[in-house]
Structure 1
Amino acid sequence: MLGTEHMAARMQAVLQQRLQATALEVLDESAAHLGHAGSNGTGHGTHFRVRIASPLFTGRSRVAQHRLVYDALHDFFDPYNKQGAAAGTNGEPRDSVHALAIEIL
C-alpha cells in the first residue's frame, strides 16, 4: 500500500491527471481525527478533504461527480479494511485513506 508521507501531494497529482482539474486542493485533516476510528495515531494520512473543479463534472449528478473522485483515488483506499482500524499487521501505522470529504467547486 501507500505510505502516509506526502499522501496529499500524491492524491493531488492523481486527481489532476485523471480528472483534468481546473481548481484543486487536497487537505490532510487527520490531526483533527486522532483517536477516532481509522486514525493511525500519527495525525496524518488517514482523513482528507478534496476541493475540486473539473470539466469532466459538467452535466453529471453530484453522486456521479463524487464517484469520479473516488474512482480516481481507488488505490489510496483499503476497501476491505484488511489492516484493521488503527494499525497494520505488525503494529505499523495504517497506510490507507480512511475518510474522504469531497467539495465540488
Structure 2
Amino acid sequence: MAPEFVSQLLTERLDATAVDVRGDGHHFYAKLASPRFEGLGLLARHRLVKDALKDVIDSGELHALSLEKTLTPAEWDAQ
C-alpha cells in the first residue's frame, strides 16, 4: 500500500481538508485535518480514523498507522 492510497482513503472517508501521510508500505504516519473532528477529544478523533479504515486494517492491507496529529481545519490553519 502506498502513502498516496492511505491519503486518498482518509480524504474520502473523513472529508479531510488536509492530509500528510508518510510510510514504508507497512507502517504509516499521518497528520490530517477534518471538520468531523469538531468538538471531539483526542481519543474520539483517533477512534473515528481507525473506524473509517477498519476494513483495510482488518484485511491486513494496512498494517500500522500512527496518528501524529488529528486536527480541525481551523487548528490546521493555526499551526
TM-score interval (norm. to shorter): 0.7 to 0.9
| Paired residue secondary structure (1:96) | coil
Q: Which has the higher helix share?
A: 2
Report what 2:76 is aligned to. Answer: none
Q: Deviations over 1:49-103 (max 9, x none)?
A: 1100111000011111001111111122147xxxxxxxxxxxxxxx633321112
Work out the CA distance in 2 between the residues paired with 1:9 and 1:62. Answer: 24
Q: How does 1:14-93 map to 2 (within 5 A)?
A: 14-28=9-23, 44-78=24-58
Following TM superposition, the consecutive aligned residue runs of length 4 or more in structure 1 with deviations greater than 2 angstroms are 95-99
Structure with larger Rg: 1
Q: Does 1:104 align with 2:70?
A: yes
What CA RMSD, in Å, does the superposition of the two structures yield over aligned residues? 1.7
**Identical positions, percent:** 41
Q: What stretches of structure 2 of length at least 5 have no aligned partner?
A: 72-79
Query: Mind listing any 5+ residue stretches in structure 1 that lack a counterpart?
Result: 29-43, 80-94
Distance (Å, rounded) in 2 between the aligned partners of 1:60 and 1:96: 28
Kindly indicate whether residue 5 of structure 2 is the aligned counterpart of residue 10 of structure 1. Answer: yes
SS of aligned partner of 2:62: coil
Which AA in structure 2 matches 1:61? Answer: G
TM-score, length-scaled by structure 2: 0.74
Listed one character per residue, the Cα deviations across residues 13-48 of structure 1 (whole Å, up to 9, x for unaligned) are 1110111111111111xxxxxxxxxxxxxxx31110
More strand by share: 2
TM-score, normalised via structure 1 length = 0.58
**Number of matched pairs:** 70
